[in-house]
Amino acid sequence: MSVTANSIRDQQRIIWDQFAAGWKKWDAELLGWHRPFGDAMIQDSRLRPDSSVLDVAAGSGEPGLTVAALVPQGDVVLADISAGMLQVAREKASARGLANVSFSVCASAELPFDDAMFDAVLCRFGFNFFPEMRAALREMVRTAKPGARISAAVWGKAAGNPWASLVLGTLAHHTELPQPPASSTGLFRCSAPGFMARLFREAGLVDVAERTVSTDLVLDSPESYWEFMEDIATTVAMGLAKADKEARSLIRSDVFQLLGRYEHQGALRLRSTATIVAGTRA
C-alpha cells in the first residue's frame, strides 16, 4: 500500500474512532434514514437462511446486524477499520441477542479472511472513504465464494443529496478550502452514473447492475440538523473544524436560512440519494 493510502487509512481510523460516540447517540435516526439503502442491498444479495456474510466498513453495525437476523443458520462478520465504531455495533448485537455475529478490526484493502469464505459481501457507504477502492474490491472478490453476490451503496450526486451539499456548499462559500483532487476520499467521489458498475466489472464481477435509491433525512429542527451533522458527518465536521469562529457562525446562520426550503409539516426533510450496485463473483 502506498504511503498516501496508508496515511489516509490511519486518518480515517482516528476520525471514525472520534465519531463513534455520535453514531451511538443518533443510532435510531441513522437506522431509519439509511434503512432503504440497506434493504436494497439485502435484496440484491440473494441471502439464504444459512448464508455466511461479510459486511465491510460495517461501522456501527449496518447492514450486517439486519442481515444477521435473516440468516439464523448462517453467520455475519462485521469488519471495520475503527474499533470504536465496531464497539457500538458489538453493544447493539448483544442488545438484540444476536449470537451469529463476529467482529474484525481491519482495513478493507487487507481483509484477514481466507479465499472464498462468504456467500455474500456487503459494503454500505464504505467506498466513499477507502483510499484504494480497487484494492478493497479485490479483497471482497477474493473472500467471496464463486457465485456469491457483492453489493455496495455509495452516495449519489450532490444535487440529490441536499442533506450534505447544503452545508458543504455553504462551507465552500465562506472558506477558501483548496479543491480536493478528484481521486480523494469524499461523499461524492463515486457519484458519476456508471462509475461503480464499471469498477465492479473491472474487478471481474458479472451480472452487474446499478440503480438509484432515494429517501429523506427527517429531523425536527434546524438545531437538531446542525447537531446531527456535527456529530455524525465526518466530512462536514472536519470542514467546519477548519473554519474560524466567525466563519462558522456565518455558515450556521446561512444553513439555517436555507433549511427553510426543506420544512414540511413541522419537520425538516432532506433528500438523500445513493447508488446501489451489485454483481456476482464468477
Q: What are the residues binding ligand SAM (CB under 6 A)?
A: 9, 12, 16, 34, 57-60, 62, 80-82, 85, 107-108, 124-126, 129-130
Minimum CB distance to ligand SAM, residue 217 (Å): 13
Specify the residue, 9 or 149, whose C-beta has the smaller distance to ligand SAM: 9
Q: Name 257's Cβ contacts closer than 8 Å, sequence gap at least 6.
A: none
Residue with Cβ nearer ligand SAM (80 or 210): 80
At closest approach, how far in Å is the CB of 189 from ligand SAM? 13
- Total Cβ atoms within 10 A of residue 210: 18
**Residue found by looking up cell 440484491 in the block:** 44
Nearer to ligand SAM, 107 or 268 (CB): 107
Residue labelled with grid coordinates 465526518: 234
Q: Residue 251 in contact with residue 167, Cβ under 8 Å?
A: yes
| Alpha carbon separation from 17 to 27, 109, 204 (Å, rounded) | 15, 19, 33
Instruction: CB nearer to ligand SAM: give 16 or 188.
Output: 16
Are 86 and 103 contacting, i.e. CB atoms less than 8 angstroms apart? yes
Closer residue to ligand SAM, CB minimum distance, 199 or 221:
199
Q: How far is the CB of 72 from ligand SAM (least distance, A)?
A: 22
Instruction: Give dist(CA 174, CA 13) in Å, integer.
Output: 28
State in angstroms the smallest separation of the CB of 147 from ligand SAM: 24
Please tell me the distance from the alpha carbon of residue 186 to that of residue 191, in angstroms, as a whole number.
10
Q: Which residue is nearest to ligand SAM (CB)?
A: 59
Residue 125 CA to residue 108 CA, distance in Å, equals: 12
Q: How far is the CB of 82 from ligand SAM (least distance, A)?
A: 4
C-alpha cell at 218: 427527517
Minimum CB distance to ligand SAM, residue 62 (Å): 4
The nearer residue to ligand SAM, 106 or 250, going by C-beta atoms, is 106
When the beta carbons of 212 and 257 are compared against ligand SAM, the nearer one is 212
DSSP string, 90-117: HHHHHHTT--SEEEEE--TTS--S-TT-
One-letter identity of residue 69: A
- For residue 81, the minimal CB distance to ligand SAM (Å) is 4
